[in-house]
Amino acid sequence: MKPSPFDYVRATNLTEALALLERHGEQAQILAGGQTLIATLNMRLSAPDWLIDITRIPGLSGITLTETHLVIGALTTHREIERSALVAQYAPLLGQAAPHIAHAAIRNSGTIGGSIAFADPAAEWPACCVALDARFVIQALSGERRVSARTFFRGLYDTDRAAHEIITAIEIPRERAPRRSVFMELARRHGDYAIVGVALLGRVDQGRLSDVAIGYVGAGATPLLAQGAMAALEGQAADADVLARAKAALAQDLDPSGDLYNSPATKRHLAAVLLERAVKQLLA
Amino acid sequence: MTARLPCPIPAHADLAPGADPTVVTRGHIGSPDPRPNARRLLQGRGTYIDDLRVPRLAHVVFLRSPHAHARILKIDSSTASRAPGVLGVFDGPAIAAICKPWVGVLAHLKGIKSAEQYPLAIERACWQGEPVVAIVAETRAQAEDARELIEVQWEVLPAITDMDASLAGDPVLHPELGDNICFERSVDTGGIDEVFAQADVVVEETFQFGRHTGVCPEGRSILADYNAAEHSLLVHHSTQAPHMIHDVLARHFDIPEAQVRVLCHDVGGAYGIKVHVYPDEICTVATSILLRRPVKFVADRMESFVSDIHAREHKATVRLAARHDGTILGIDLRDLTAIGPYSMYPRTSGIEGNQVVNLTGGPYRHQHYRAHMQAVFTNKNVTCQYRAVGHPIAVAITEGIVDLAAERLGIDPAEFRRRNLIPDDAYPYAFPSGVRFEQLSHQQCLDRLLELMDYEHLRADQAAARARGCYRGIGLAAMIEVTNPSAAFYGVGGARISSQDGATVRLEPTGALTVLCSVTEQGQGTETVFAQIAADVLGVSMERVRVITGDTAATPYGGGTWGSRGAGIGGEAVLQSARALRAQVLDAAAAILSCDKAQLDIAQDAVIDRLSGQTRLSLAELGRICYYRPDTLPAGFQSELVATRHYVPRDYAFAFTNGIQASWVEVDIETGFVQLLGHWCVEDCGTVINPLLVDEQIRGGVVQGLGAALLEECCYDDQGQMLNAHLGDYLVPMALEMPDIVCAHVQTPTRTSELGAKGAGEAGTAGAPAAVMNAINDALRPLAARVTAQPFTPERILAALGRV
Ligand SMILES: Cc1cc2nc3c(=O)[nH]c(=O)nc-3n(C[C@H](O)[C@H](O)[C@H](O)COP(=O)(O)OP(=O)(O)OC[C@H]3O[C@@H](n4cnc5c(N)ncnc54)[C@H](O)[C@@H]3O)c2cc1C
């Protein structure tokens, strides 16, 4: 398993990396943590002529707070997010999800930008970002733009990012009082991509749920926002009827395809089980 | 660091023939000595084939068939041949010109048939992954680049992927064979239909087993170095059976046996996967001969999945007849297994099914048994012997149907087994299928297991959990295991595979010992066991024993490692050669000290006075005198400080062992997920030479069995494409999902050897899947759900529960 030959450049600043991307277009691939890309290269599933290593570009890594957002640099590793006190305070959902991503060795290298760019529907960060209504900062030579996570993911491994653009940061809206959150997933072994997973956010006031957001992992071609289930729960006390309605709404919200070991029907069943468990945990 | 243990004195009175074998010396034998090679391997100082660099080394890669069944119309390698670094591109006929084909059949498996097989497919490829073109280049990367430039025109042929369809025989995969049945075997003790007609209860079930494979940390690999100047061949090989490979290479390439050498370095796990003759490895040797330079092949993970042997694709229907009191009267079995397009060479792909027939029902004392097994060809990767060959199937079939009978009769499964397991005082005992047991300890093992797991307590916990809506279950699985195979396994069928092994033990001038043994080491600690035995017999400390294995130019001739034989057979050869050397050392000491040999003994690296224990002469001094100052020895005395002995079991075809396992699980009935809460194994491998290593073998084996039960399957589509040929999708068990595995031993040494050791390496794998299956079904019992198709995935459990 050896990759096809390629040229490698280690970019020292963002402009250089963007210029290289402009020049080589589809022939180039950005190399971040390499935890997805290197495997695809070795399996010859991808054979770019150029690898542009962005890991030495200053300013793309780290977690900061602005007036309005929690900002996570694209090169921030899964592990840094898992351990961050700022994340624990302002977006605890991410801290809850992080331990489910692969194994420690992979979390030490893999980056959130890489995960968002790769857009695996079974990955944790994309679904969390959708639930958190995060936005992505995307840079091209021509300038910078921001895209909502809820519109960024367009199809299977297909995103709004053009080949010449680099994701530089993930911005998560600051809330005066952060919502409660629960992250749950079902994977047959620790560290595997989930069969299905759920990211749930909401406030609980006297047993009633509000500001509910539900993101799903592995339940469609992209990370999904379960809007029907959200509507079913919003403003309600999650009794058996409400839960049943929310679970029923998932039939519309989700569109899982089968995998080797699970049919779409099994995934739908598991997604509903997770929803009920997540809501109960949020209320607990 | 190696633990030093005091060597008891007098340690080792020479045993008279026929003396009680349980009186083997206790010093290192029986002590949990850590493996000296573990430190080296953990520090990254192991040597695997991939680490070897030799001058002018070239690398070979294979273009493998992307189709399960296809005619090769044309191979265009003109561009690839001119690609950078390419040294040669070879197709089937080019390799066949210098290598004789083979057919994987053996005479004692009556009627077994298979087709001629070549290193590279000729005219037709019969499974996805079959090697078709070999590309040799200066580097592996260049060879892979060139592979992409080869164009093959295929005519895709219909693939047989279903075993029932194969049995129906349309089409016939190898027309010259007449049908798709590779091998079939029946056993019938007679009278079975009457027994079933008169029984109080008859239970029936069909069990299915997914194909899986043994995932070796080190992939298959070989470095072949042909020397044209002397028509000789040096092969560095990651194999379990160097002498078998030596013989195969000599015969198939027409190189005199004396001009072949097979050398194993560290072998990174094997589990039976590396005991076969693989087309790509033979082809690597061929390219070295054709190019007259060393060529290396290291299977990468993806090609391993489609070219390492698979195992265990079975569908078995079994019936059991019993009386009201639980007495098992008879078992009736039909088993169908699919083995791929060829029977593997030279051990054949008939053994697994054969074992299922031999072993089903094995722990129990019913007198009526009928079995019919068929192994059929399909267009999937070849199957063959993987750790515990046939046992996991036979044990699951037996224990699954036994639990069903117990349930039907309302008898507790532990009690049901107690009533039916062969009593410990019934030996020697002949099982209705014909196999003979020397001495087993089923009842003792059952008692020990129930005590170890605290069966009553777990039953109470289970009831309490059920009251909370939590579904827990206990599964038991009794088993027998084939170990220490004699020539009955392969030799009698004409296979040039030695069932005998040999050891040479040499005293060096410094008083150190060198042990050379034909049994090999793949990480299980065999070499440590040999060092313990030699150290004990010769009174030498472990640090001063060096063990050499895996070199056909150095060690005695022998079978290598397979069939749970390393300690039992190789260990006995070491014991006997060490005893012979001991006598020779005492002869030399008596000559030096001018005293009677009977007054002397050896302990703690010195010759001592037998009665007082006083040191008379260190072994280093003895070595110095014998090697450097033989002129000072009495006239006419020639010292011999090296001895070789061989051992092969003769009294029994196999040293059967027995054991029992228990699994304790919790099933999440909403998700179908199974959590392994605990696992216990009590087994009887006779003399436990090194409890640490035996327990490691049991645990490792159990883990592979748990993988089979819950995770591992080579998934194929109906076109014969393997869908999960990488470690992302083929799920091997990992530490975080594994339960604690508690091991205990009952020791019933075999009287067929002085050491008394039987095999232990496959016991864990043999029984674990059945224990887990029974535990899951025990948990699901109140919901009237059962699973019978391995692996027990969440989806299969949900389906059984009617939830999806
Ligand atoms: C065994 C294993 C198990 C795993 N399990 C999980 C899991 O359970 N859940 C999970 O979410 N992930 C899992 N992963 C993937 C891991 O999280 C990766 O780290 C992540 O998906 C990609 O991040 P990376 O930094 O490694 O990106 P790379 O591999 O370097 O790049 C991935 C892709 O993103 C592009 N890219 C990277 N950074 C940027 C950027 N800033 N802007 C634009 N494009 C960019 C690259 O060009 C490439 O196409 C697993 C990986 C392995 C090896």
Same domain, B510 and B573: yes
Two structure tokens written together for B672: 């179908």
Choose one of A21, A35, A81, A157 to mutate for the ligand 1 pocket test, by most ligand atoms within 8 angstroms of C-beta: A35
The residue type at B519? V
- CB contact set of A205 (below 8 Å; sequence gap of 6+): none
- Domain A63-173, CATH 3.30.465.10 — does that match? yes
Q: What is the pLDDT of residues A254-265, one digit of tens each?
A: 999 999 999 999
Taking all residues of chain A, what is their mean pLDDT, rounded to a whole number? 97
Choose the closest CB to A188 out of B715, B731, B803. B731
Residues from chain B contacting residue A5 (CB–CB below 8 Å): 141, 145
Q: Where in the sequence of chain A do the CATH 3.30.390.50 domains occur?
A: 180-283
CATH, domain range A180-283: 3.30.390.50
Q: Which residues of A touch B736 (CB under 8 A)?
A: 189-191
Burial class (CB in 10 A: 0-12, 13-18, 19+), A98: buried
Cis peptide upstream of residue B346 (ω within 30 degrees of 0): yes
Using the mean position of ligand 1's atoms as its centre, give its distance from the Cα of residue A92 in Å: 21
For ligand 1, atom 37: residue with the closest CA:
A114
* ipTM exceeding 0.95, yes/no: yes
From chain B, the residues in CB contact with A189 under 8 A are 711, 731, 733-734, 736-737
Nearest to A4 among B145, B671, B726 (CB): B145
Mean pLDDT over residues B665-675, rounded?
98
- DSSP H or E segment with residue B576: helix B571-593
- Which CATH number does the domain housing residue B790 bear? 3.30.365.10
Report the gap between the CA of A222 and the closest CA in chain B (Å).
20
Q: Please choose from A6, A20, A30, A216 the residue to mutate so as to test ligand 1's pocket, defined by most ligand atoms within 8 A of CB.
A: A30
Best to test chain A binding among B62, B140, B212, B670 (most A CBs inside 10 Å) = B670
User: B8, B27, B14, B30: which is closest to B691 by C-alpha?
Assistant: B30
Domain boundary among B595, B620, B647: B647
Beta bridge partners of A172: A70
How far apart are the C-alpha atoms of B513 and B509, rounded to whole Å? 9
Cβ–Cβ < 8 Å for A175, A91: no
Residues of B in contact with A46 (CB under 8 A): none
Residues B533 and B590 occupy one common structural domain: yes
Question: Distance between CA atoms of B281 and B222, rounded to whole angstroms?
Answer: 6
Q: Where in chain A is the domain with CATH 3.30.465.10?
A: 63-173
Q: Answer whether A275's CB lies under 8 Å from A229's CB.
A: yes
**Do residues B679 and B771 touch, judged by C-beta distance below 8 A?**
yes
In 3D space, the residue among B276, B386, B391, B282 whose CA is nearest the CA of residue B770 turns out to be B391
Q: Count of alpha carbons within 13 Å of B541, Cβ hemisphere only?
A: 14
Q: CA of A3, closest CA in chain B: separation in Å?
A: 7
Check whether B7 has a pLDDT greater than 70: no
Are B771 and B663 spatial neighbours (Cβ–Cβ below 8 Å)?
Answer: yes
Q: Note whether A266 contacts B711, CB cutoff 8 Å.
A: no
Q: Which residues of A touch B300 (CB under 8 A)?
A: 1
Could you report the per-residue pLDDT of B328-366, keeping only the tens digit for each?
999 999 999 999 999 999 999 999 999 999 999 999 999
Spatial separation of the C-alpha atoms in residues B449 and B684, rounded to whole Å: 12
Total number of residues shown for chain B: 804
The DSSP code for A18 is H
Question: Model confidence over B475-494: pLDDT tens digits?
Answer: 999 999 999 999 999 999 99
Same domain, B428 and B573: no
- What is the average per-residue pLDDT within B361-383? 97
A:B CB pairs within 8 Å: 63
Question: What is the rounded average pLDDT of the residues A224-230?
Answer: 98
3 state SS of B90: strand
Report the predicted TM-score, pTM, of the whole model to 2 decimal places: 0.96
Q: Where in chain A is the domain with CATH 3.30.43.10?
A: 7-53
Residue ranges of B 744-803 with Cβ closer than 8 A to chain A: 793-795, 798, 803
- All residues of chain A having their beta carbon less than 8 Å from the beta carbon of residue B671 are 186, 270, 273
Rg (CA), chain B: 28
Pocket of ligand 1 (CB under 6 A): A 29-37, 39, 74, 101-102, 106, 110-111, 113-115, 117-118, 123-125, 166-167, 191, 193
Q: How far is the CA of B218 from the centre of ligand 1 (A)?
A: 26
Helices (H), B595-710: 619-628, 691-710
Measured in Å, residue A80 CA sits from the centre of ligand 1 at 15
Instruction: Let me know if residue B321 belongs to a domain.
Output: no
Q: Chain B: residue nearest A47 by CA?
A: B145
CATH match for A7-53 among 3.40.190.10, 3.30.43.10, 3.40.630.10, 1.10.3720.10 = 3.30.43.10
State CA B394 to chain mean position distance.
16
What pLDDT band is residue B1 in, cutting at 50, 70 and 90? very low
Residues B452 and B592 in one domain: no
Is B366 among the domain residues?
no
**CA nearest neighbour of A249 among A266, A264, A234:** A234
What residue numbers bound the domain in which B531 lies? 36-45+500-647
- In which band, very low, low, confident or very high, does the pLDDT at B36 lie, cut at 50, 70 and 90? confident
Look at strands A69-73 and A135-140 and give their pairing.
Answer: unpaired
Which string of b and e fits B759-771 if b means at least 16 CB within 10 Å?
bbbbbbbbbbbbb
pLDDT (mean) for B13-32: 56
User: How remote is the CA of residue B183 from the centroid of ligand 1, in Å?
Assistant: 49
Q: Using one digit for the tens of pLDDT, what is the confidence trace for B130-177?
A: 999 999 999 999 999 999 999 999 999 999 999 999 999 989 999 999
Whether the Cβ atoms of residue B270 and residue B550 lie closer than 8 Å to each other: no
Tokens encoding B290: 């054709």
Is A195 an interface residue toward B (CB < 8 Å)?
A: yes
Cis peptide before B794 (omega within 30 of 0): no
State whether B643 and B678 are in the same domain.
Answer: no
The answer, yes or no, to whether residue B25 has pLDDT greater than 60, is no
Q: Given the CA of residue A40, which atom of ligand 1 is nearest to it?
A: 29
CB A145 within 8 A of CB A161: no
